């Protein structure tokens, strides 16, 4: 039976298991939106296309499924680019459907035409312009396959209006064969054996975990691996929730705003076992002094990431869900030798404990002014263990990483690679749409929040009870911190001189607003905010010039941390 292009598109989404899409209608996708009325797929109407992509991105991060967003042509499509780039940098599987002007008008500067293939080529894993309705089902099958396999990422499908209206016999392929795209799944067994030999020879091992561990859902295997060899575990920002931060082997986040003990452990280690990380500059600091005494094992599904930024002694190309179980099995066969290693590395673990005692994550509490770190700690104490936390980008993001001890996988949603302000609120929206009954919190700064605050309307419309915590210092805090430390306190354009009444803003949208100005008010307001039905803004007037510390200055090594302001 023949179907129109828009009907074929929606049937492809259904067959791929898509239950929820995020988007914003317009003239070139009006056929899709008309057929959505008869589809079982739930659509969430965002108030901006960037927010729709962020919401679909977060939906993917918390569920492990491919997120889907729809936008119309021209400005609607170009508004998605920041969201696509955010997903691309963090390797999030997504399919973005952009409307396009009819094929005869492409290249003629038609009304609301934009070259989305050219525009998004640098920030997508792949993209398609569909010119024939007969190709649409095949392209959609390929788009989902490419998005979720290998190193995941966003795929854009640009769909002209006439293709949506044309008809073809619907035939959805069962398999995908793409010449030149054959992701390596299974690691080389000889390389695995070499890795086991290096682990057994190490006396100061450190496990360095990146966002790939979260995407691969290997938290249980990671825990087994760490406990087997009794090695300290440090995570990147993207991997915070992949290993329990309360575990005795956890040393927290490493890098620019990492813990003292994580950075020192990496600096002094003799073996760095890297799992699904890409050695980002915010992690390594000065490359020449990064892990200077360590041999490096690098496990990654993307061969182009290996040796890209740092030297690697043993590359292991493969999926973590293949590599980690096989490493655990291999170590089990060397049980006696593993016990010898554990006994020989007691002094190393004791050194880690000493570093933790000497320089714990701490701040100076006051009775009057609210410290942002205190708010984060209280929030962790009072919210559910499996609460999903999204953040915007800035100081509050780093304080969350430092002081909110994540325990469960896929509970921390943040923009790591691109560092996108305005990400948190729509991300929390997407997470709440995925899990309506779970507790979802957006931790925000007053600057970032204002970039996509219109999504309050979406929360209210769909009765999504996201709790929004705004740490309000009336500054663009992270930039101000750099100005203080490196630019003689010349606070150029970082002071938000017109304070926003976030309580009134919440009420204007039909949400609940609350405010705390004293330390003694923090705990009760969090309790009240979490218990209040529907979306809630909890605004905390925090210390204006509090800094995120420790901090590794740009160009410095991990052992050259600023510990106090």
List the catalytic residues.
Answer: 49, 111-112, 161, 478
Residue 150: is the preceding peptide bond cis (ω within 30°)?
no
Cβ pair 171, 141 in contact under 8 A: no
Lay out the sheet containing 440-445: strands in order across.
412-413, 388-391, 440-445, 467-472, 536-541, 512-516
Q: Where are the beta strands (DSSP E) in 122-190?
A: 126-129, 154-160, 167-169
In the structure encoding, which two tokens stand for residue 275, read together? Answer: 């799992």
Strands (E), 279-434: 295-300, 314-317, 388-391, 412-413
Residue 182, token pair as written in the block:
């054959």
Query: Residue 411 in contact with residue 388, Cβ under 8 Å?
Result: yes
User: Around Cβ 505, how many Cβ atoms within 10 Å?
Assistant: 18
Q: Token pair for residue 164?
A: 């949506």
Q: What gap in Å lies between CA 40 and CA 100, rounded to an integer?
A: 25
Residue by residue, what is the 3-state secondary structure of 434-468? Answer: HCCCCCEEEEEEHHHHCCCHHHHHHHHHCCCCCEE
CA 159 → CA 73, 81, 94, 222, 430, distances in Å?
9, 16, 16, 41, 24
- The whole-angstrom separation of Cα 355 and Cα 475 is 33
Please check whether residue 552 is in contact with residue 255, taking contact to mean a CB–CB distance below 8 angstroms: yes
DSSP E strand stretches across 457-516:
467-472, 512-516
- Maximum CA pair distance of the chain? 72
**CA atoms of 420 and 85, how far apart (whole Å):** 9
How far apart, in whole angstroms, are the C-alpha atoms of residue 426 and residue 498? 24
Closest CA to 206 of 2, 351, 304: 351
What does each C-alpha distance from 193 to 200, 305, 317, 547 come to in angstroms?
11, 22, 14, 45
Written as six digits, the tokens of 385 are 């263990």
Please name every residue paired with 43 in a beta bridge, in sequence order, or none if there are none. Answer: 21
Query: Number of H helices and number of E strands within the chain?
Result: 24, 20
CB 317 within 8 A of CB 303: yes
In sign, the C-alpha dihedral spanning 30, 34, 40, 44 is positive
Order across the sheet with 295-300: list the strands: 250-253, 233-235, 205-209, 271-275, 295-300, 314-317
Backbone phi, psi, residue 529, to 5°:
-65, -45
């Amino acid at each position: 039976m023949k179907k129109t292009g828009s009907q074929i598109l929606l049937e492809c989404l259904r067959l791929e298991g898509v239950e929820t899409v995020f988007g914003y209608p317009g003239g070139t996708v009006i056929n899709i939106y008309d057929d959505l009325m008869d589809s079982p797929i739930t659509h969430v109407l965002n108030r901006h296309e960037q927010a729709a992509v962020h919401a679909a991105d977060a939906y993917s991060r918390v569920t492990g499924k491919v997120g889907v967003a729809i936008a119309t042509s021209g400005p609607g499509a170009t508004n998605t680019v920041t969201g696509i780039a955010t997903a691309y940098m963090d390797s999030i599987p997504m399919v973005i459907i952009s409307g396009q002007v009819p094929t005869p008008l492409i290249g003629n500067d038609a009304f609301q035409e934009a070259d989305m293939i050219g525009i998004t080529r640098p920030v997508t894993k792949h993209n398609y312009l569909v010119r024939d309705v007969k190709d649409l089902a095949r392209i959609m099958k390929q788009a989902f396959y490419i998005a979720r396999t290998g190193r995941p990422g966003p795929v854009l499908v640009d769909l002209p209006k006439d293709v949506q209206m044309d008809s073809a016999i619907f035939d959805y392929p069962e398999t995908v064969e793409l010449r030149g795209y054959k992701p390596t799944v299974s690691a080389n067994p000889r390389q695995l054996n070499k890795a086991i030999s290096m682990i057994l020879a190490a006396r100061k091992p450190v496990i360095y975990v990146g966002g790939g561990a979260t995407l691969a859902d290997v938290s249980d295997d990671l825990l087994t691996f760490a406990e087997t060899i009794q090695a300290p575990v440090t995570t990147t920002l993207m991997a915070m929730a992949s290993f329990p931060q309360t575990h005795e082997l956890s040393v927290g986040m490493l890098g620019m705003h990492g813990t003292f003990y994580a950075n020192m452990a990496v600096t002094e280690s003799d073996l760095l076992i890297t799992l699904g990380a890409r050695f980002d500059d915010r992690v390594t600091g000065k490359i020449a002094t990064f892990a200077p005494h360590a041999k490096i094992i690098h496990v990654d599904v993307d061969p182009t990431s290996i040796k890209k930024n740092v030297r690697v002694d043993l590359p292991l190309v493969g999926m973590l869900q293949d590599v980690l179980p096989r490493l655990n099995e291999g170590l089990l066969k060397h049980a006696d030798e593993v016990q010898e290693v554990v006994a020989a590395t007691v002094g190393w673990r004791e050194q880690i404990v000493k570093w933790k005692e000497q320089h714990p994550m701490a701040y100076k509490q006051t009775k009057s002014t609210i410290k942002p770190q205190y708010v984060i700690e209280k929030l962790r104490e009072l919210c559910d263990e499996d609460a999903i936390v999204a953040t915007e980008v800035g100081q509050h993001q780093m304080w969350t990483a430092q002081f909110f001890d994540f325990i469960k996988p896929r509970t921390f949603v943040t923009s790591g690679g691109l560092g996108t302000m305005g990400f948190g609120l729509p991300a929390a929206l997407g997470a709440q749409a995925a899990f309506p009954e779970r507790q979802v919190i957006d931790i925000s700064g007053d600057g970032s929040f204002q970039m996509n605050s219109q999504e309050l309307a979406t929360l209210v419309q769909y009765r999504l009870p996201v709790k929004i915590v705004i740490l309000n210092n009336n500054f663009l805090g992270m930039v101000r911190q750099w100005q203080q430390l490196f630019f003689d306190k010349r606070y150029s354009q970082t002071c938000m001189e017109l304070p926003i009444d976030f309580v009134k803003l919440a009420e204007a949208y039909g949400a609940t607003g609350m405010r705390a100005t004293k330390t003694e008010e923090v705990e009760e307001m969090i309790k009240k905010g979490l218990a209040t039905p529907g979306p809630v803004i909890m605004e905390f007037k925090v210390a204006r010039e509090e800094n995120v510390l420790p901090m590794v200055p740009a160009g410095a090594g991990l052992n050259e941390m600023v510990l106090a302001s």
